[in-house]
């Protein structure tokens, strides 16, 4: 049992030290858990441990039509 406690004590800090504490959204660094508007102006980008995720809403252009050139995928 002592060996297991020792192994856990040694491994856990090492595993958490490898996890990123921030990510970059549109050239700006954010902490994990932060949300910010995406560059397309209509989706929300979220900084996660796996990188940046975003909503996938279709953006409307100035005429009220759908702007399908906007990048709404994950970065």
pTM passes above 0.85: no
Question: Nearest-5° angle of CA 10, CA 48, CA 20?
Answer: 40
Q: Which domain holds residue 31?
A: 21-75
Of 64, 57, 28, 27, the closest CA to residue 42 belongs to 57
34 domain residue, yes or no: yes
Number of separate domains in the chain: 1
- Asked whether residue 58 is domain-assigned, the answer is yes
Q: And the tokens for 25?
A: 């959204």
Nearest to 49 by CA among 23, 17, 25, 72: 23
Q: Which residues pair with 59 in a beta bridge?
A: 67
- pLDDT tens across the length of the chain (75 residues): 666 554 555 554 544 455 568 888 778 899 999 999 998 989 999 999 888 999 999 988 777 666 665 554 544
Query: Is 14 contained in some domain?
Result: no
| Domain-located, residue 16 | no
Q: Is residue 69 part of a domain?
A: yes
């Amino acid at each position: 049992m002592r060996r297991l406690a020792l192994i856990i004590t040694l491994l856990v800090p090492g595993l958490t030290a490898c996890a990123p504490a921030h990510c970059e959204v549109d050239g700006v660094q954010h902490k994990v858990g932060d949300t910010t508007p995406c560059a397309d102006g209509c989706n929300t980008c979220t900084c996660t441990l796996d990188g940046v995720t975003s909503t996938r809403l279709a953006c409307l252009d100035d005429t009220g039509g759908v702007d399908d050139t906007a990048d709404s995928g994950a970065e």
